[in-house]
């Protein structure tokens, strides 16, 4: 139980750091704060609700991974390097695909 509690506290610290330091995470979190309750009202059934909310949570998770990759790359070196750029750009692309997934999911379910 002690290990689980510490892991929980580390996760809270990660949320706090991302919210404090990452404008994109803040924006996506606020968007989620609007979309999740909205999904509860407009989802046509329980399975649709799960998928709609899941697509939003996936974006938040991808943004946290993107933030971790950027922080790691920056910690290693602030010099411009093609591999550092590739790591950051591909992590950003993952978030973008997650956002497209939200849009696609919501459009398909609601139309």
Active site amino acids: 63
CA torsion sign for 83, 88, 91, 96 is negative
Q: Are 111 and 78 in contact (CB under 8 A)?
A: no
CA dihedral 24, 21, 92, 53 (to 10 degrees): -50
What burial class does residue 62 get, using C-beta atoms within 10 Å of its C-beta: 0-12 exposed, 13-18 middle, 19+ buried? buried
């Amino acid at each position: 139980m002690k290990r689980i509690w510490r892991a929980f506290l580390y996760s809270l610290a990660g949320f706090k750091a991302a919210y404090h330091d990452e404008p994109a995470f803040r924006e996506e979190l606020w968007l989620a704060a609007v979309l999740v309750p909205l999904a509860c009202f407009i989802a046509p059934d329980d399975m649709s609700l799960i998928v709609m909310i899941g697509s939003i949570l996936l974006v938040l998770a991808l943004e946290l991974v993107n933030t971790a990759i950027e922080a790691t790359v920056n910690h290693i070196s602030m010099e411009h390097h093609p591999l550092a750029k590739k790591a950051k750009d591909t992590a950003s692309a993952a978030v973008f695909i997650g956002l497209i997934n939200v849009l696609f999911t919501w459009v398909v379910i609601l139309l």
